[in-house]
Amino acid sequence: MADPVKSDAKTNGFHKTTNGHHAEELKIAIIGQSNFAAEVLELLLERDHMVVGVFTIADKGNREDILATTARQHRIPVFKFAAWRRKGVPIPEVLEQYRSVGANLNVLPFCSQFIPMEVIDGAAFGSICYHPSILPLHRGASAIAWTLIEGDERAGFSIFWADDGLDTGPILLQKQCPVFGDDTLDTLYKRFLYPEGVTAMGEAVDMIAAGTAPKIPQTEIGASYDPALFREENQYINLNQPAVRIFNFIRGLDSVPGALATVEMDDGLDVPVRLYGASLSARRSMTNARLIRFKGAVGPAFVTREGIFITGTDGTLVRVKRLKRGNRVIPAGQWFEQSETKVTPLELSDKEQEQDALIRSIWKSILKVEIETETDFFACGAGSMDVVRLVEEVKDTLEVPISNETLFMSPTYGEFLQEVIQRLRTGGSDQGANIGCDYKHVVLKANRRQISVPTQMFINGRFVDSEASKTIAIVNPTNEQVICEVASASKTDVNDAVQAADEAFRGVWTSVSARERGQLMYKLADLMEQYKEELATIESIDSGAVYTLALKTHVGMSIDAWRYYAGWTDKIEGTTIPVNPARPNHVLTFTKKEPIGVCALITPWNYPLMMLSWKMAACIAAGNTVIIKPAQVCPLTALKFAELTVRAGFPPGVINVVTGTGSLAGQALADHPLVRKLGFTGSTPIGKRIMTSCAESNIKKCSMELGGKSPLVIFADCDLEKAVRLGMSSVFFNKGENCIAAGRLFVEDRIHDEFVRKVIKGIKTMKIGDPLDRATAHGPQNHRAHFDKLQEYCTIGVKEGATLLYGGKRVPNMDGFFFEPTVFTNVEDHMYIAREESFGPIMIISKFHSSDFEALVARANSTEYGLASGVFTKDIQKALLFAEKVEAGTVFVNTYNKTDVAAPFGGFKQSGFGKDLGKEALNEYLKTKCVTVEY
C-alpha cells in the first residue's frame, strides 16, 4: 500500500543533480530493506542524487523497516509491499504505484523480495544490485556464508546490472578483501562487506550519472550456484570430513543461523543443537574430558571446561565455544551441567506480558531488527552507547535496578527478559536477592536478628556441596556449642573452583571494563554497608570478636578496603620509557600493567572478613579472578560475603570460596598449576611450607604476611596515660589475636613500676563476657586449640622465671574460651616468651635503661620477626632514630594499631614479604609487560 508524504515541489527535500552525459537526470528508486539500504539512501542524498521513491517490505506488527523510517525523515515517498507478485504474476496495483514515481534507475542495496522483470527493465537506465561475493562465484542467497564454508582466501562483493538470471547480469564494479583465519560471517560483513559496500553503491550511482559505468559480461568460468542456507535442511554440518572443513562450515553460519548438529543422548533421544564460536585447536590430549556423541560423526567428541572438541577425519580437533539448545545459548563447556538442569520457562502474568512488550520495544528501537527470543544484543552490532541506552531505558520504564553487567550476563533477549522479570518479582531487588532459597544454610538467631548464612562452598556462582558431602563442625567460642556443619573441600572441589576462576578470567571477566569493575566493587561495598550489622553479628558468633569492634574494624575497614580499591580500577597505568634507538629508526617503549590471572588467597581466623577484604579487593581491582580459603574454624562471614557478591552482580567464577582444612584445601591451592598468585596470612612455619609448594608447583608468585613479635618501646618522657592506654590496646586489642600486637614491651626503668601498676588497674576494669554485649571489652579466644596453646605459653613463662603478675589462666566460672588478660614482668631476652609470639592477650614487659640507645634497638631487633613496632616519647629525635633503625615494616610513633586502607602493610624478615593495602598492594596482583615498537 502506498504511503506518500505530502509536500510541495520547492520544499519536498528531493535532491537533484545536473550532468552533461544524460539528456535526462537520474531519478532513483531504492528497492530493499535493512540498515544497509538505509545507509545507501543517506549516502546518495549526501551526494546530491535525486531519490524519487523508496520501496520496502510491509510493517512487521507496529514496526516498519529502518529504510522506511529513514526515507520519512527526508520526506521521500515510501511504498510498502508484502509482495510484488501473486502466483508469479506482477500485481497490477503494485506496478502502478512503482511507475507513479517516474524512476529511471533502480538501486537494490539489499532486497529479499522477488522483483518482477517489468520493474527491473522498466527503468531507462536499468537496475543495479549489490551481491556479497566476487561473481560469478557464489551466486545465490547465501554468498557470504559459502565464501567461508568453501575456505576462500578472498572475499568481496559485486555490484551488477540485474537481468532475468540468478545474479548473472553484467558487472559494474567489484571489490575484494582477504579472509582472515578468525573471520566469521559477522566479522566479514562488519569489517568489509557492509561499510565498503555502502560506499561502493554510492560510487556506482556516481558512475552511472557520469555515463562511465561499465557493463562487463560475467564469465561462466568458476561460476557456482550454492544452496540457500535459510533452508534448515542445508544448515546441518557434515562431521565426517577434515577438521578445517568442519571449522569453516561452523564459522560460515556464525552467528546466524548457526550450524546444526544432533547430539545423541544416553537415553536414546536425539537433541538438535546449533554450534558457534569455532576454532581449530592445537590440543592433542583430553584430560578431565567427558565424551559427547554427535550423530554422523566418525571421530570422538569431548566436553571440557574450554568447550566441545570435535575430531575431524584427519585427527585434528575443532573447538566449539557456544551452542544453542532450544532457545538457550550456553557455553559449550557447560553442556552436561545444563543438560542435567531442567530450565523452566517463565510463565508471564498479564502484567508481565505488558512488561515484555515494553522491553521488546526498547530492544527494537535500539537494534532496528525484529526481536526474537534468541536475538543477541551484541551480535546485532550494538556498541557501548547502546548498552547504556538499553539499561537506562529499562530502568526508567520499569523501575528495576539493573546494570550493564545484567546485559553482559544475559545478552540474548530471552535471557535478559527472564533476568528483569525475576528481579521485578522480588520487589526490584538485585540478582541473587532470592538466593536464600537456593543454598543450604543455617539461621543464626542473635543480636535481635535472624540471619541466614550459607554452609556450602561457593564455586562458579553457585553454592555447592563438597565431594561426598564431607563437612566440618563450626564451634561458637563463646559457649563451645556447634553452630553448624560447613562443607569441607576435597582436591577435586578445589580443582573445580580453580577451573571456574580460570574460565571466568579468560572469558566473561575480560568483557567487563576496568571502570565497570570498579562499579561492581562499589556496589558490593554498599551491600556490605547495608548488611554490616549482620556481618558483625556473624563475626562475633563465629570468631568471638567483640561486636562493637567487629562493627567498627572487622566490617568497617572491610568496606573501606572495597571502596578504596574500587577507585583504583581505572587508574592502573603503565609508563613510557625513553630508550636509545638505532638511528635513523624511532622506538617507542612502554609498559603495561596486566592482571596475573587466577589468584588464591588463604586467610587467618583473627579477622575473617577484614583479611579477606584486604587481599581480595586489591586482587579484584587489578582484574584477576580469585579462590579464597577462609580459616577452617570461622568461615561463615566469607560465605555470607559470597552471597553479597551475587547480589552485587559479579559474574560466576570471578569470586569463589572453598571451605575446609588448610592441609587439604589450602595445600591443593598452593599446588595447583593454574593458580598464578597466592596470598597468605598465617604462621611463619606454614608460610615456609606454602612457599615451597609455590616454587615446586609452577613458581607461582606469592606474598606472605606471617608471624610477629613486634617491639613497643616506652620512654620515660612519654605521655604516660596515653602510653598505658595504647600499650594495653597494643596487646589486648581483639583479644590479642592481632598480627601486629606488641609482642614485647620495653619500658624505661624510671616509669616501669608505675606503668605496670596502671596496666593492672586498667585490666581489672575490663568487662569480659558475651561479645554481643555492647559493654563487653574482651571476648573469647577463637578456638580451643589456640586457647590451650595460651595456657601452655604461660606455663613456660613461669617455668623460665618470668614474673606472672596477673592472669595466665581461664576466666573462672565461665563457659567458652575466655582467657584472662595476662601480664608478665622481669622477662629476660633469652626466655621463650620474649622470643615467640603468643597471639593472645599476654603482655610481656622488660625493663631498659635509657643510657644505651643502640643496645635498646638491638634488643628490639633481636627477633626473626619484623612486622610492626612502636615507640612512645616526646623526643622527636629519639622517635625518628628508632623508626630509622628498627627492622619492621610498620612503625607507630606515639600511637599503635593505627592502620588505614591507603597505607601499605607488610613485614620484614620472617614476618614475610609483599604488601597488603595502599597502592603498593596492587603490584602484588599485577604483572608488568614491556612493549617496544620500532617505526
Active site residues: 131, 705, 739
For strand 598-602 and strand 441-446, is the pairing parallel, antiparallel, or unpaired?
unpaired
CA–CA gap between residue 109 and residue 899 (Å, rounded): 67
List the beta strands (DSSP E) in 708-806. Answer: 710-714, 742-748, 803-806
Q: Which residues, 6+ apart, have CB-to-CB distance to 241 below 8 Å?
A: 312, 313
Write a three-state SS string for 683-713. Answer: CHHHHHHHHHHHHHHHCCEEEEECCCCEEEE
The CA-to-CA distance between both ends of the chain, in Å, stands at 60
Q: Is 220 exposed, middle or buried (0-12, 13-18, 19+ CB in 10 A)?
A: exposed
- Per DSSP, the three-state class of 177 is strand
Instruction: Report how far residue 908's alpha carbon sits from residue 382's, in angstroms, rounded to the nearest whole number.
Output: 52
Spatial contact of 326 and 274, defined as CB atoms under 8 Å apart: no
Pair 703, 914: CB distance under 8 Å: yes
Q: How far apart are CA 463 and CA 461, in angstroms?
A: 7
Q: Residue 382 has which C-alpha cell? A: 550494538
DSSP character for 139? B
Are 249 and 162 spatial neighbours (Cβ–Cβ below 8 Å)? Answer: no
Position 627, amino acid: I
How far apart are the C-alpha atoms of 811 and 814, rounded to whole Å?
6
Pairing of strands 154-161, 127-131: antiparallel
Q: Among 483, 451, 515, which Cα is nearest to 643's? A: 451
- CA gap 712, 824 in Å, rounded: 15
- The verdict on whether omega for the bond into residue 136 sits within 30 degrees of 0, i.e. cis, is yes
Pick the closest to residue 731 from 830, 535, 870, 592 (CA basis): 870
| Grid cell at residue 215 | 557493463
